[in-house]
Structure 1
Amino acid sequence: MSKLTKKDLNKVVRRWMLMAVNTFNYQSQQAGSVVFSLKPALRKIYKKDEELQESIQNHFKFFNCMPWLAPLVLGATLAMEDRDGIKAKDIVQNTKTSLMGPLSGVGDSIFWVLIPTILGSIAGYMAIDHNPVGVILWMIINIVFMFLRAKAIHIGFNQGTKLITTFGDKISILTECASILGLVVVGALVPSVVDVSTPLIIERGELSMEIQPLLDSILPALLPVIFTYLIYKLIQSKKMGISLIILLVIIVSMLGAWSGLLG
């Protein structure tokens, strides 16, 4: 039987809507807001302090999702922990990792670009013509969106429960698949987000050869992959803080552009 009620879920989503990006940082991004939102529900799930602390530390790991759709993820993870407790720790993290990317892509495109552009333009033109309907319509749409955001955590929680019930003893397979999907999503971001190239040209007499096409023929986006790997190793070593690493990236980029090694 579920330990959480609709009231508990509503409290979680209210706390999330108030704090979704207020604790944003470069190391864990929205993880602080996740913990703030989930803590009352986690306290109800875990009666032992050590299990609660272990769950909280798990949720303090990197999380970044379009805030309006993130309650779907939070609801699903709560369903898993509500049913299996701390044993669900790994699949909770893998589920968050695998879902936050696709949901962000859909959410950003629809809720932050498509709908605001179309409906905002209509409301703006109506306002220019001194027609109050546009402003009222815009306010109503935002109220509807707030209701949908609040409803999303219940959808995620119910589907999360069904997910666990359906797969039952196949939970280890699901964990592995979710982990692989998360790695694929994160890996796919490297060539599209990390922009590193070199304009170097080797010249020997009448022969000249561009370095960048040669690197691309070995492995597309080779320099972004190497650059990302080095940054990852710096973070993993814990010898440098995130702010210092960002400063180092800026310095290396400036020196690379000045010397002509990087484009």
Structure 2
Amino acid sequence: MSNEVKTQAPRGTVQQLTKKERKAAFRRWTFVAGLGWNFETQQAPAVAFSMAKALRKIYPNDEDYIEAMDNHFKYFNITPQMGNTVLGATLAMEEKDGLKAESAVQNLKISLMGPFSGVGDSIFWLLWPTIIGGISGYMALQGNPTGAIIWIAVSAVLYFVKMALSQLGYRSGTKLITSFGERLNIFTDAVSVMGLMVVGTIVATVVKIYTPLKFQQGKVSMLLQTDVLDKIMPALLPALLAGLTYWLLGKKWWTPTKIILLLVVISLIGAYFHILGVAPTK
């Protein structure tokens, strides 16, 4: 018997996916988008599971594959039906440029998940259940089984819609890489700026902190929140909290779960001593 040593592909080697392999990755996301959800990375486990086989084909080198998979284990959260489009685009970028597109892939996911979720939530969580659910529910109350059939039929059609969105995202990602070519760093910088803008907007609009502390001297009173902090910078407290969280994430001992528990403790202590409270309604 001859001793054959299996050589591994050199780093940087990138292989192309077949249409069947791309569809398999998109199909995985379609059925497992909500599985593995957690407070630290939210939908990242589902993303990694969906992309695993496709990335194994794209990156025959083990180290490249591990690095690519690790990149997809980072925070991601989007309306599941819209995730197909974003993942399709990122898959095309990796297939074309490999790990050179690593930063662009992550920045694209961060910058698009917010706007796409806004559209997806309106269509798939509000419009569709209200209209189709209302029609189907009314028919069911009348003893007409057609309502249930309509609901099942529309749900089946949505599967093909999601697969079509996957292909749309893949073609869009291919066009981005083709158009920018060697200027990929320009695209990466642009997407990074967009991602930072989205994160900054989220901090200012979603993170809510209010302090009812008030300074009073004789007949003169001054609210710390509205008369001091908001005058310095609107949403100053949310920005400071986001900065603290970001700083703690860079520390080895701190994990997202520990930071969440710390914020809960701070909230309880702040509420007990009336340092923090609920903002008055206008």
TM-score bucket of the superposed structures, by smaller chain: over 0.9
1:242 alignment partner, one of 256, 260, 275:
256
Matches within 5 A, 1:31-110: 31-110=44-123
User: How many pairs are equivalent?
Assistant: 263
Match of 1:179 in 2: 192
Deviations 1:24-65, CA, capped at 9 Å, x for gaps: 111111111111111111111111111111111111111111
Deviations 1:92-117, CA, capped at 9 Å, x for gaps: 11111111111111101111112211
Q: CA deviation at 1:221?
A: 0.8
Is 1:118 paired with 2:131?
yes
Matches within 5 A, 1:206-217: 206-213=219-226, 214-217=228-231
Match of 2:11 in 1: none
Is 1:161 paired with 2:174?
yes
Match of 1:260 in 2: 274
> Could you say which structure has the higher helix fraction?
1
Is 1:190 paired with 2:214?
no
8 Å contact from structure 1 (residues 6, 154) kept in 2: no
8 Å contact from structure 1 (residues 122, 134) kept in 2: yes
SS in 2 for 1:28: coil
Match of 2:164 in 1: 151
TM-score, with length taken from structure 2: 0.89
Greater than 4 Å deviation, 4+ residue runs: none
Q: CA deviation at 1:209?
A: 0.8
TM-score, with length taken from structure 1: 0.96
Q: CA deviation at 1:151?
A: 2.0
Q: 1:43 to 1:2 in 2, by over 3 A?
A: closer
Q: Distance in 1 between matches of 2:58 and 2:40?
A: 27
Q: Distance in 1 between matches of 2:245 and 2:101?
A: 30
Q: CA deviation at 1:143?
A: 0.8
SS in 2 for 1:68: helix
Q: Distance in 2 between matches of 1:244 and 1:47?
A: 36
1:205 alignment partner, one of 218, 242, 248:
218
Q: Distance in 1 between matches of 2:191 and 2:254?
A: 30
Deviations 1:205-238, CA, capped at 9 Å, x for gaps: 1111111112111111111111111122112213
Residue identity over aligned pairs, in percent, reads 48
Match of 1:29 in 2: 42
Structure 2: state its 5+ residue gaps.
Answer: 1-13, 278-282
8 Å contact from structure 1 (residues 191, 221) kept in 2: yes
